[in-house]
Copies of this chain bind each other. A is one copy, B any other.
């Protein structure tokens, strides 16, 4: 019997183990992916810490991945109707089973809140099969939405952008940026870096990225930040710097991508009256912060938008953006820290300790042989 190795979080806080799984029986419409790269991101740390609700441990993490089609049961097609063939390098939207029959899908048109959606590497568990990317092979269930990697997009650039780029695109869409508007980006991690790049790509004026440490700020400059601010100055000082760079008014748009709850309040202090705040960094419950509704919402006349998840449109466009603009923005360098599958625990620790902006599990780097069989 063919088997594939995968890294597994047995339960919250437990050490990652490498386990073997049988190759899935492919139904019509299914496929098997030989993994090239899979991502390690902040969400994986939260998964390890047991901070997300509804996760069926044991778990094979890895929600954004890229690989080569190793086996197909029946012909597959992408959204343009083009055939996907064995050997093609593809990625796929981690969200599956969005139902298209519930109120949120059909009436509210908020499919990221569909109660039936499942997410590879997060809400599918290892008992469900090879449904996470930290694995030699990934089972692409029927109906999963594939995106072929276009000619000219190297896999490293794609995985360097990864889920941070898709998330950032959704957030920047919600910000409804107009040309020359000023933007503050809170956070210099994977999402903050891509928000910075996409604000620049959108023709923003001043782009002020706030975070740390210094090498991340330096990278943010290369992503398009016109000003960077570290975390040594007090929040008041940082807000003062923002006002100084924006005619005394505060920024037209602030995008919170740091994950610290107090950053949401800082965002409200930094946005100009009548401006917009997008909250995209709060994917885990870190408790409450004090909000002054009079000063920070009502009198500000501000708009605040929460941004949860992404749908296929964001993912599809993120791939196109990485392909078209990968030469202008150094997403590729975010994929520089690669770890073998056997070192997934080391990769996770590096992300937990913020030693790297992002870690990549390089399962079968591009010159890799066919999936191992045992």
Contacts and interface: CB of A to CB of B under 8 A. Distances in A.
Interface of A: 79-81, 100-104, 106-110, 112-113, 143, 145, 169, 172-173, 176, 178-180, 198, 201-203, 205, 247, 249, 261, 264-265, 272-274, 279-295, 297-309, 311-313, 316-317, 320-321, 324-325
A294 to B, nearest CB: 4
| Total copies of the chain | 4
Nearest to A272: B108
B316 A306 contact: no
B100 A294 contact: no
A266 to B, nearest CB: 11
Nearest to A247: B80
Contacts of A113: 273-274, 301
Nearest to A256: B293
A297 B301 contact: no
B288 A292 contact: yes
Q: Which of A172, A203, A311 has the most CB of B within 10 A?
A: A203
Given A179-B198, A301-B309, 5 more contacts: A110-B301, A179-B321, A282-B297, A285-B295, A287-B292
Given A247-B80, A316-B106, A261 B301 contact: no
Contact of A298 (B292, B297, B306): B306
Contact of A293 (B178, B274, B282, B313): B282
A101 B102 CA distance: 17
19 contacts: A81-B102, A104-B274, A106-B312, A106-B313, A107-B312, A107-B313, A112-B301, A172-B179, A180-B324, A202-B203, A203-B321, A261-B293, A273-B308, A282-B293, A298-B308, A301-B307, A302-B305, A303-B303, A303-B306
